[in-house]
Amino acid sequence: MEYEQLKLGNQVCFPIYAASRLITRAYQPLLDQLGLTYPQYLVLLVLWETDEVSVNDISENLILNTNTVTPLLKRMETQGLINRNRSNSDERRVIISLTKKGNDLKEQAATIPQQLLEKLDVSELDLHEIIDLRDKLNRLIDAIRN
């Protein structure tokens, strides 16, 4: 091939994209038990870390546009997982908080990361390599965002 840079195997983006899709697929049966989609799980991870955050904070943490996050949050509110309320100090801001039901899912979800590792056939990688990969990907994300 004349354009080596256009071979799929030479792309940085494809293995990241493929790994993301495969990991998301592996998560789904675990999340189905909790009645969650993967994006809903990500929102809950943000809220379990810091409850009562703005829609903009969630969007920024998940690197998603607010017009993507807002319908997701509306569905989660309908499911009784979160509350959406206008900020008292700035009514343009919507504050998202966990309901008891959303908070109670935290205990059930606590085993998901370990279950995922057990489910994935990553026998060629040890835990330290996976953590190193995560850290390198976070550095890549930071570099791209700035």
Q: Report the CATH number that the domain containing residue 70 is assigned in CATH.
A: 1.10.10.10
Query: Would you give the DSSP letter of residue 94?
Result: E
Q: Which two tokens stand for residue 107?
A: 């205990």
Beta-carbon-side half-sphere exposure of residue 81 (alpha carbons within 13 Å): 20
Q: From CA 95, how far away is CA 88, in angstroms rounded?
A: 9
135 and 85, same structural domain? no
39 and 98, same structural domain? yes
Give the whole-number percent of the chain exceeding pLDDT 70: 99
Does the predicted TM-score (pTM) go above 0.85?
yes
128 and 116, same structural domain? yes
Q: From CA 108, how far away is CA 98, in angstroms rounded?
A: 15
Tally Cβ neighbours within 10 Å of residue 41.
Answer: 18
pLDDT in tens, 77-134: 999 999 999 988 888 899 999 999 999 999 999 999 989 888 777 777 788 888 899 9
35 three-state secondary structure: coil
96 and 49, same structural domain? yes
How confident is the model at residue 75, as a pLDDT?
A: 97
52 three-state secondary structure: coil
Mean pLDDT of 50-69: 96
How confident is the model at residue 1, as a pLDDT?
A: 61
Instruction: Quote the number of domains for the chain.
Output: 2
120 and 59, same structural domain? no
124 and 72, same structural domain? no
42 and 94, same structural domain? yes
Pick the range with the lowest mean pLDDT from 15-19, 47-51, 109-113, 128-132. Answer: 128-132
pLDDT band at 56 (very low <50, low <70, confident <90, very high): very high
| pLDDT reading at 53 higher than 70 | yes
Beta-carbon-side half-sphere exposure of residue 113 (alpha carbons within 13 Å): 8
Q: Which two tokens stand for residue 48?
A: 């379990």
What is the domain extent for residue 75? 35-104
Q: Which two tokens stand for residue 122?
A: 């990553």
143 and 126, same structural domain? yes
98 and 48, same structural domain? yes
CA dihedral (108, 110, 113, 118) in degrees, to 10, reads -70
52 and 86, same structural domain? yes
